[in-house]
Structure 1
Amino acid sequence: MVADVSVSSPLDGEPDHERAGRKGRKRGPAAWVAMYHSVSDHPEDPYNITVTPARLDRQLAWLRGRGLRGVSVRELLAARARGRERGLVGLTFDDGYADFVTAALPVLRRWDCGATVFVLARRLDGENDWDPLGPRKRLLGADGIRRAAAAGMEIASHGLTHVDLTLAGPRELDAEVSRSRALLAELIDADVQGFSYPYGRVDAQAQAAVRRAGYGYACAIAPHPALAGDLALPRVHIGQADTAARLELKTRLARLCGRGLEAP
């Protein structure tokens, strides 16, 4: 995913998207969803989408130290439906980089955390060639996806090929959304409930396609207030610079800016 690395947003280090404007929940702080991408030691990172395994380890230590546990979005929403989401944080990894299995998964296991991995159904064993700058990184193949699923991670769709759905025609839009779900469900022999909009961009047409395809939820970044809901969930971007102090600030700002996960 290509991210804007400008620092004009109050949520420093996030891609520059329009803020959601929904109010927070009344019965205590809203849960929230973190957005990761690649986990590796590669120093070149022009889009602010990479954290090192050591940094991820410290970030999850911060979560656990505050009495929080990272879970998949599917688990978070199920807990919310029961009114039991307190203490949970959704963890998501966009693009399905191969380093999720080799670098992220061991850290998640160490801290007893779950996560959702959004993969590209027609780029298995491919590369992130949608990014014009930066290093080429391998994407998960079928074996890696099944390994992540076997470890308890949620496998969800990021589309077929990583196209901006707000620019796609009707046929391409429906194929990216519905066909990707079918292919992944066949691959893991399980239902696929989640979708993540490439680049975090969603409009009414893309959201309608997700609804038609039967997804239970979809993740954006900072959706327009008119679209906000379970088919356009806001997320907090997490990068290499996010120390414990920055994480505390970003999560507080996220709630103030309407990026908490509200009750339906």
Structure 2
Amino acid sequence: MPDTADSPGPVPWVAMYHSVGDRTCDPYHVTVTPERLARQLAWLRARGLRGVGVAELLAARARGAGDGLVGLTFDDGYADFLTHALPVLRRHGCTATLYVLPGRLGGVNAWDTPGPRKPLLTADGIRRAADEGMEIGSHGLTHIDLTTADDTVLEAETAGSRAALADLLDREVDGFCYPYGRLDARTVAAVRAAGYRHACAIDPGPLTGPLALPRVHIGERDTAVRLLLKRRLHRLRRRPVVGV
């Protein structure tokens, strides 16, 4: 049973990860080691909690059955998801939402400059993750700040990326994630117009809702004590999410 002293409040608790692997050069603090991820997931399971993708989390909450679930998300679609994150998730009985960039299939994280180049998933890699039970969502086409995009680019990054992933997976894609966590009313409207049913940000403030869900960054330094504090502070600091 979940720990009732730390049970979810009205705001979904969604953890934000990026890369899982070697941290020898990690200037942006976006990488956790597989060992740290395993300890973090074990911490969840020890508290009667299970990590799932965003769609599963929201569907369970709509049924009144989400108390034992937390959201797990992995941004950018790094190739190391398959080699390092997926085995750990399977071992702990968890799933996740993987936000990918269909405009950079098999490329690298060129938006992180300067910094180490990390390979991104190919089309086959994304299909494999989906076949393993992971939810696939869009992170836009190319990882740009959508708040600075003109209307044509904004539509391509939202509606265009959804169409590309639907073609790649032969299924509808319902989830979106704002690159850099940056959003405004215009970008949220574009995500809604593109047909997404849920979207993740970081700290969307007054825009908080099903298309702008707040998340908590989880990194290598997040031990059991820090995870406990982050979980409790999340409920205190975040706005309620109407309709979720």
Residues 47-104 of structure 1: CA distance to partner in whole angstroms, max 9, x if unpaired? 1110000000000000000000000000001101111110100000000000001100
Unpaired runs of 5+ residues, structure 2, are: 1-6
The residue aligned with 1:249 is: 229
Partners of 2:171 and 2:35 in 1: CA distance:
32
Q: Specify which structure has the bigger relative contact order, considering alpha-carbon pairs within 8 angstroms and separated by 6 or more residues.
A: 1
Aligned pair 1:74/2:52, yes or no?
no
Aligned pair 1:240/2:241, yes or no?
no
* Cα pair distance change 1:246/1:136, threshold 3 Å: same
2:9 maps to a residue whose letter is P
Aligned pair 1:199/2:180, yes or no?
yes
Aligned pair 1:220/2:201, yes or no?
yes
2:140 maps to a residue whose letter is G
TM-score (normalizing by structure 1): 0.87
The residue aligned with 2:64 is: 83
The residue aligned with 1:123 is: 104
Q: Percent identity?
A: 67
1:262 to partner: Cα distance:
6.0
1:113 maps to a residue whose letter is C
The residue aligned with 2:4 is: none
RMSD, aligned α-carbons: 1.4
Unpaired runs of 5+ residues, structure 1, are: 1-26
Answer whether contact 1:235 1:259 (CA < 8 A) is retained: no
1:184 maps to a residue whose letter is L
Partners of 1:224 and 1:174 in 2: CA distance:
23
Partners of 1:144 and 1:85 in 2: CA distance:
30
Answer whether contact 2:208 2:241 (CA < 8 A) is retained: no
Partners of 2:157 and 2:8 in 1: CA distance:
37
TM-score (normalizing by structure 2): 0.94
Answer whether contact 2:208 2:239 (CA < 8 A) is retained: no
Answer whether contact 1:234 1:260 (CA < 8 A) is retained: no
Residues 90-129 of structure 1: CA distance to partner in whole angstroms, max 9, x if unpaired? 0000000000011000000000000000000110000001
- Which structure has greater helix proportion? 2
Aligned pair 1:230/2:202, yes or no?
no
The residue aligned with 1:92 is: 73
Q: 1:184 aligns with which of 130, 146, 165?
A: 165
Answer whether contact 2:78 2:121 (CA < 8 A) is retained: yes
SS of alignment partner, residue 164 of structure 2: helix
After superposing on structure 2, the runs of 4+ consecutive aligned residues of structure 1 that deviate more than 2 Å are: 27-31, 259-264
Equivalent residues, number:
237
Residues 15-74 of structure 1: CA distance to partner in whole angstroms, max 9, x if unpaired? xxxxxxxxxxxx962430000000002321111110000000000000000000000000
The residue aligned with 2:116 is: 135
